[in-house]
Amino acid sequence: NLDREIYLSRCLSIGGVFSYLSSLIVKKERWDAIDFDASYIGTSYPHVFIMMSVFNTPGCLLHYISKPLVICRGDNDSFEKKGKARRILIDFIAYL
């Protein structure tokens, strides 16, 4: 789908790939219809598996809202408590 390719090509960070749960709105029926892969539990991003599965479902519509509805708190990332390198590793492992 061209819209999906355009959206993903314009993401400037990994956060654009559905990792910030508080900024996502999805129909519950679509979420519940996904056959969850339990191997994602403990990765910090099990919701991304579901969102990418929904995103790749035929008929899925993505609406991007450029005006912030939820402000990103980038200066107090709880995953960075063990250091920046560990924070990057969390993303790296989760998205492999």
Chain centroid, CA 85 distance in Å: 20
What is the number of structural domains in the chain?
Answer: 1
Residue at token pair 């579901």: 50
Provide the percentage of residues in the chain whose pLDDT is more than 70.
80
Q: How confident is the model at residue 96 (pLDDT cuts 50, 70, 90)?
A: low
Average pLDDT over residues 13-31: 78
Residue 1, pLDDT score: 67
Average pLDDT along the chain: 80
Which of the 8 DSSP states describes residue 70?
A: S
Domain ranges, residue 87: 2-94
The answer, as to whether pTM is greater than 0.85, is no
Separation CA 19–CA 45 (nearest Å): 7
